[in-house]
Amino acid sequence: MSTSSTPDTTHTASAAFRGALDVIGAVEPRIAEAIGAELRDQRESLKLIASENYASPATLLAMGNWLSDKYAEGTIGHRFYAGCQNVDTVESIAAEHARELFGARHAYAQPHSGIDANLVAFWSVLAQRVESPALERAGARQANDLTEADWEELRHDLGNQRMLGMSLDAGGHLTHGFRPNISGKMFHQRSYGTDPATGLLDYDAVRAAAREFRPLILIAGYSAYPRLINFRVMREIADEVGATLMVDMAHFAGLVAGKVLTGDFDPVPNAQIVTTTTHKSLRGPRGGMVLCDDSLAQQVDRGCPMVLGGPLPHVMAAKAVALAEARQPAFRDYAQHVVDNSRALAEGLLTRGARLVTGGTDNHIVLLDVSGYGLTGRQAEAALLESGIVTNRNSIPRDPNGAWYTSGIRLGTPALTTRGLGTADMDEVAALIDGVLSQTTPGTTKSGKPSKASHVLADGVAKRTAERAGELLAQHPLYPGIDLG
């Protein structure tokens, strides 16, 4: 595993985890057992979920400490609780690493998740573009100074702003205006999709939609789009219609940090505000982060108490550790290997006759259209899981099966790349996936009709696939040297 350290530190980490489980087990042994079982399951599975990875022992250990006990609402040097000097240190270091790693003017490390980071971004833009002008018109210094009539007007204005983001079935994220999500309820929302013939983003169509819709926020970024986005062009579109360009790079932040995505494909120098998670391809703890230019820094730093509750200082400590790791030269090699492996996986599937959305990949994501196997995404996901291959079903553009059953499987290479698998291994992974799906058929309902949910896997396939996957994984052990006893 490429996140491991020297033999001495590995031995120390092993002892630390064993000791932690002993302490936990003395209070609630079922929890200790579940934690150990999770490590065993992860060691024995081909993890191809694009949004998952393996954090280093140092990152994991940074989350289990006394920082968890401290309340620290506010921000660095301006807390609503006393005794936050150590939290200030931790948050300052995390923000420093984030600025240096991404070349950002400002970094905010408090968000608990990607959705929280996006909420901070949304409300920061609303505060800058809607609330501040309202205060100026009313001659008020702060919102508390507004009259009730002023408040009525401000509430109306805040609730009638427009957002334009990539549609869910085209590869966007549910926080980019999907109706069941808070983003789709906060904003008057419209989506842009991809070209029906190629599956690629059509910038002319995005420009036309922006000109017609005139959004306050134009969102770029994706959770299941296997190609790159030209953020320079997206910024040109945003500027043309007076929108703020917000980029959600939660999925590909590690590729930005590792300098695989640069120039027009790097969102940080092109967008006014950028959000991310710190796990996924960045290989840190579960959490979020916001990067922005100077114009939005003051609003972003008000994320707590604007939309966030108390920060999680122990998670910010883990973010700082992971960001420090990502600043090492080895992380650039890792990020490039992620993309190389993704392309090799795509090629391995294509040579076996599989259908891929857009015909390939430029990033860490491969989106497999499983309708060519006569399956729904839910059936394919279940058959692969039964065979020791962990994936997730995902919509494809204009998906006839909707967002629950889907027609696609999303595959990602960050986790297996962390384990040390290379391009030759990816061809074998492609063979295993194709082998399982080729020998899976849809099940039937109780009435005898074809089912979108159940599947039938040919005898012996799951066992043989899991065994071969185990042999492949044994060559690339996860957390080598860590023995829970």
What angle is formed at CA 434 by the lines to CA 429 and CA 440, rounded to 5 degrees?
130
Is 452 noted as a catalytic residue in this protein? Answer: no
Query: How large is the angle between the packed helices 423-438 and 329-350, nearest 10 degrees?
Result: 40
In the numeric block, the tokens 């509750």 are attached to 309
- ∠ CA(250), CA(256), CA(258), 5° rounding? 120
How far from 296 is each of 130, 134, 278, CA to CA, in Å? 13, 17, 21
Q: Exactly one of 47, 162, 286, 393 is catalytic; which is it?
A: 286
Query: Token pair for residue 116?
Result: 């929280």
Catalytic residue among 280, 283, 378, 410: 280
Q: With the C-alpha atoms ordered 289, 294, 295, 298, is the resulting torsion angle positive or negative? A: positive
Which one-letter amino acid corresponds to residue 241?
Answer: V
**Catalytic-labelled residue, pool 116, 248, 325, 399:** 248
Give the span between the Cα atoms of 136 and 142, in whole angstroms.
9
The candidate with the shortest Cα–Cα distance to 187, out of 165, 167, 154, 168, is: 165
Active site residue 280: yes
* 73 in catalytic set: yes
* Residue 203 among the catalytic residues: no
Catalytic residue, chosen from 12, 18, 44, 73, is: 73
**Can 153 be counted among the known catalytic residues?**
no
Q: In the beta sheet, which residues pair with residue 390?
A: 47
Using CA atoms, how far residue 211 sits from 164, 218, 443, in Å, is: 11, 11, 47
> Strand 106-108 vs strand 288-292: parallel, antiparallel, or unpaired?
antiparallel
Element (H, E) at 58: helix 57-62
Residue of 3, 194, 276, 277 with catalytic role? 277
416-452 in b/e form (b: 16+ CB < 10 A) is bbbbbbebebbbebbbbbbbbbebbebeeeeeeeebb
Residue 147 annotated to the active site: no
DSSP 3-state of 223: coil
DSSP state of 201: B
Catalytic residue among 12, 43, 44, 71: 71
Nearest Cα to Cα of residue 392 among 409, 416, 369, 367: 409
Catalytically active residues are 71, 73, 248, 277, 280, 286
